[in-house]
């Protein structure tokens, strides 16, 4: 069993022409649930926040989207039933042994985050498909095993590497809007910048080796 979080920055989303078109119309398009699924389409419950001058009809003009019903509108956005015929969206929802967790969506401010879980082989196949269509900026993988997760990482990383990673993560070093430097982090732990950086680098190598092994 595996849980994966895929993240894209806004600038990366513009690599998809269709998503780029959506972001011209919407500040945010969030999928809250899946209402109906067949082999050619998925009907989604979506909340849409239009940009100034944007129109719902513009979304229906896109190749793979159609607004089929407007439910309500408030300051948060417009709640609609959205018909999506994009092959990737349909296959993601329809794939056996894999589950897409709403809510998910596209945001001009935050980019996109997609959470999936399922049987390891099925999740790996879906990730390979995603990478061909729109490579994520970040993939976070959690594999569920009988062994305690912390014990797994303690067998891979040294105590010092774990300590440095926990500190760096807590201070926002791995956040998308990072505003802390390696030197600042090193100073807080009374280390030389080069020493702190080496702990980080070696830990990242070990983590990525494990992630890639899990994805194979």
Given a cut of 80, whether residue 132 has pLDDT beyond it is yes
Listed ranges 55-59, 149-153, 211-215; the one with the highest mean pLDDT: 55-59
How big is the CA angle at 37 (ends 6 and 131), to the nearest 5 degrees? 25
For 113, the 3-state DSSP assignment is: strand
How many CB atoms within 10 Å of residue 69? 12
What average pLDDT does this structure show over 71-100? 84
What average pLDDT does this structure show over 208-212? 78
pTM score over 0.75: no
What average pLDDT does this structure show over 44-52? 94
pLDDT, tens only, 6-36: 999 999 998 888 899 999 999 999 999 888 8
pLDDT, tens only, 160-193: 889 999 999 999 998 888 889 999 999 999 988 8
What average pLDDT does this structure show over 91-107? 80
CA distance 102 to 112: 12
Closest CA to 198 of 186, 209, 184: 186
Given a cut of 60, whether residue 73 has pLDDT beyond it is yes
User: How much of the chain, in percent, has pLDDT values that exceed 90?
Assistant: 39
Give residue 120's pLDDT. 81
Give residue 146's pLDDT. 47
58: its two tokens: 């513009």
The half-sphere exposure of 18 on its side-chain side, counting CA atoms within 13 A, is 16
DSSP 175: S
Q: For the chain, how big is the Rg over CA atoms in Å?
A: 20
User: 111 and 7 in contact (C-beta within 8 Å)?
Assistant: yes
3-state secondary structure string across 12-25: HHCCCHHHHHHHHH
How high does pLDDT run on average in the chain? 86
Q: What is the dihedral of CA 50, 51, 57, 59, to 10 degrees?
A: -80
Q: Indicate the range of 22-26, 43-47, 90-94, 116-120 predicted with least confidence.
A: 90-94
Banded pLDDT at 2 (limits 50, 70, 90): confident
Given a cut of 60, whether residue 145 has pLDDT beyond it is no
User: Which residues are within 8 A (CB) of 98 and not within 5 positions of it... i.e. 6 or more apart?
Assistant: 92, 116, 117, 118, 119, 122, 123, 126
Longest dimension (CA), the chain: 60
Give residue 94's pLDDT. 65
Give residue 150's pLDDT. 66
């Amino acid at each position: 069993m595996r849980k994966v979080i895929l993240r894209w920055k806004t600038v990366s989303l513009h690599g998809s022409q269709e998503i780029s078109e959506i972001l011209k119309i919407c500040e945010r398009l969030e999928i809250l649930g899946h209402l109906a699924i067949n082999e050619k389409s998925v009907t989604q419950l979506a909340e849409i926040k239009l940009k100034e001058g944007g129109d719902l009809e513009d979304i229906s003009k896109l190749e793979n989207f159609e607004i089929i019903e407007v439910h309500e509108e408030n300051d948060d956005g417009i709640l609609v039933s959205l018909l999506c015929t994009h092959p990737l969206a349909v296959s993601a929802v329809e794939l056996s042994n894999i589950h897409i967790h709403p809510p998910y969506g596209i945001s001009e401010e935050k980019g996109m985050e997609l959470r999936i879980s399922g049987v390891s082989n099925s999740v790996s196949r879906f990730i390979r498909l995603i990478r061909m269509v729109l490579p994520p900026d970040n993939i976070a993988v959690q594999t569920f095993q009988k062994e305690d997760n912390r014990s797994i990482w303690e067998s891979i990383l040294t105590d010092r590497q774990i300590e440095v990673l926990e500190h760096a993560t807590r201070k926002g070093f791995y956040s998308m809007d990072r505003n802390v430097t390696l030197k600042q982090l090193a100073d807080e732990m009374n280390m030389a910048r080069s020493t702190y950086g080496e702990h980080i680098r070696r830990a990242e190598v070990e983590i990525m080796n494990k992630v890639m092994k899990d994805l194979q």
